[in-house]
């Protein structure tokens, strides 16, 4: 049984989400502030987190950033009362996988939970593509090299392991197994995030920037993940 962590400081919202998740067959654990959320993540090891942005003892965005820094692969759906595009983009930049604006339809939230859990499963398009091609992908540039082990979901730069989030790894692997191919943002979203996920296409830009910061020798002058102006991105290997 998959486990969902629900975090919000409003008990009626937590109760309503928990009730509907239980009806969908999930095990549910709850938290009402940032400190309790982090404790639950450590002890309960949830498969997905439904996380409010504004919490009494901290911010949901800060929690996302911490999970991202730690290389967590747990999908996070943010709950926010702010629908402005810039606020939603901040959520993606913090490492969230999706966001739902309050007030929301419970059916929509349940659909997003199912969608992200499917994408977090072993049927990831990017991972299967890598396994079909090579167990280990290796690339060498003038100033650096990377190695991608699809079986272990590990990436090394110049021999040193680099922690990547689930989406970062899947995005990198998809592009690396199709090196030279130019991907537009919508195709990358569909292949990595899934066609049934409700994410802004600029989240691709955010993840490309993170990958460059982690893997490129000089992120401002990338030699691996290249921008194709007016189209999208390609892996040059």
Instruction: Find all residues with CB under 8 Å of 5, minimum gap 6, and list them.
Output: 28, 29, 30, 31, 37, 40, 41, 44, 46, 48, 49, 50, 51
Residue 125 is predicted with a pLDDT of: 46
Residue 126 is predicted with a pLDDT of: 45
Q: pLDDT by residue (tens digit) across 105-141?
A: 999 899 889 888 887 663 344 445 544 444 688 898 8
Residues of the chain below pLDDT 50? 122-127, 130-134
Residue 124 is predicted with a pLDDT of: 44
What three-state secondary structure class fits 134? Answer: coil
Residue 135 is predicted with a pLDDT of: 65
Q: Identify the structural domains of the chain with CATH numbers, from first to last.
A: 3-119 (3.40.50.2300), 125-235 (1.10.10.10)
Instruction: Find all residues with CB under 8 Å of 108, minimum gap 6, and list them.
Output: 100
Cα separations in angstroms, 199 against 57, 129, 153, 195, 225: 27, 23, 24, 10, 21
What gap in Å lies between CA 184 and CA 192, rounded to an integer? Answer: 12
Residue 174 is predicted with a pLDDT of: 92
Give yes or no for a cis peptide into 5 (omega within 30° of 0).
Answer: no
Residue 133 is predicted with a pLDDT of: 47
């Amino acid at each position: 049984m998959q486990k969902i962590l629900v975090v919000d400081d409003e008990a009626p919202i937590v109760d309503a989400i928990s009730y509907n998740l239980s009806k969908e067959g999930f095990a549910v654990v709850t938290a009402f502030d940032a400190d309790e959320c982090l404790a639950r993540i450590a002890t309960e090891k949830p498969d997905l987190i439904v996380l409010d942005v504004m919490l009494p003892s901290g911010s949901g965005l800060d929690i996302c950033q911490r999970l991202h820094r730690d290389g967590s692969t747990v999908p996070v759906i943010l709950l926010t009362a702010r629908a402005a595009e810039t606020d939603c983009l901040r959520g993606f930049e913090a490492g969230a996988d999706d966001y739902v604006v309050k007030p929301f339809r419970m059916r929509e939230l349940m659909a997003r939970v199912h969608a992200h859990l499917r994408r977090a499963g072993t049927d990831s398009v990017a991972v299967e593509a890598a396994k079909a091609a090579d167990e280990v992908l290796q690339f060498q540039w003038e100033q650096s090299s990377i190695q991608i082990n699809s079986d272990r979901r590990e990436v090394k730069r110049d021999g040193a392991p680099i922690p990547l989030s689930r989406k970062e790894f899947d995005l990198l692997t998809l592009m690396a197994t199709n090196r030279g191919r130019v991907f537009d943002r919508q195709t990358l979203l569909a292949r990595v995030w899934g066609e049934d996920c409700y994410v802004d296409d600029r989240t691709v830009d955010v993840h490309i920037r993170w990958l460059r910061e982690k893997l490129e020798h000089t992120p401002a002058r990338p030699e691996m993940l290249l921008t194709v102006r007016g189209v999208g991105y390609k892996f040059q290997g």
